[in-house]
Structure 1
C-alpha cells in the first residue's frame, strides 16, 4: 500500500541532507556539514514563517487560504523544528562526550 501524498510544495530541507548534489555549485560558499546545517536551519525557519503567515490569513478569514493547507504547513514546521532540536541535542551530547574523554 502506497501512503505517499503528492504535494505541490517542496519538501523540507531536512530531506535534502541525505542527498548530495551531483556537482558542487560555484556560488555556494558554505560546503560540508556546516553548509548543510545552515541550509536546514534556514529551511526550518522559512517553514515556520510560512505557517505563521497562513495562520494569520486563516484568522483574517481569507477565502484563498484553506484550513487544510494551514494545518499541513503547521505540521511540517513542527516536524522540522523537532528534527532540528534532536540534531542539536545529539551535537551537544557528542561535544560533551568528546570533552569528557581522557587524553
Structure 2
C-alpha cells in the first residue's frame, strides 16, 4: 500500500469517527509539536485514529445491546449499519497495521 493509500485510509477513519455521532468524553490533551517542520506527528494521528475506531466499536456494541434488550428507539437497520461501520473501521486499521509491520520489517532487513 502506498503512502497515498495509507493517508486515504487514515482520512476515512477520521471521517468515520467524526460522523459516528459520539462525542469524545476524554479530557483534552495538549497538542504536541510536530517533529519536523510542516509535517504531521504520526504518533498522534495513529493514536487518534485508533481511538476513533474504538469509539465506533463501542457505539455499535451499545446499539446492539439496546436492541437486544428491546429498546424501541433502536431499529435493526441502525444496528446493522453501526456494526458494518465498526467492521470496516477495524479492517482498515488491520490493513494499516499490516502495512506498517511490513515496512518496519523491510527497514530492519536493510544493510547499513
Q: TM-score range by the shorter chain?
A: 0.7 to 0.9
TM-score with structure 2 setting the length: 0.67
**Are 1:82 and 2:91 counterparts?**
yes
> Offset of 1:66 from its aligned partner?
1.0
Structure 1 unaligned residues grouped into runs of 5+: 1-10, 17-26
Corresponding residue for 1:67?
A: 76
The structure that is helix-richer by fraction is 2
Please, what is the CA RMSD of the aligned residues? Answer: 2.3
Runs ≥4 in structure 1, deviation > 2 angstroms? 27-31
TM-score with structure 1 setting the length: 0.73
Q: Distance in 1 between matches of 2:106 and 2:100?
A: 10
Structure 2 unaligned residues grouped into runs of 5+: 1-11, 18-29, 35-40
Greater RCO, 1 or 2 (C-alpha within 8 Å, sep 6+): 2
> Offset of 1:64 from its aligned partner?
0.6
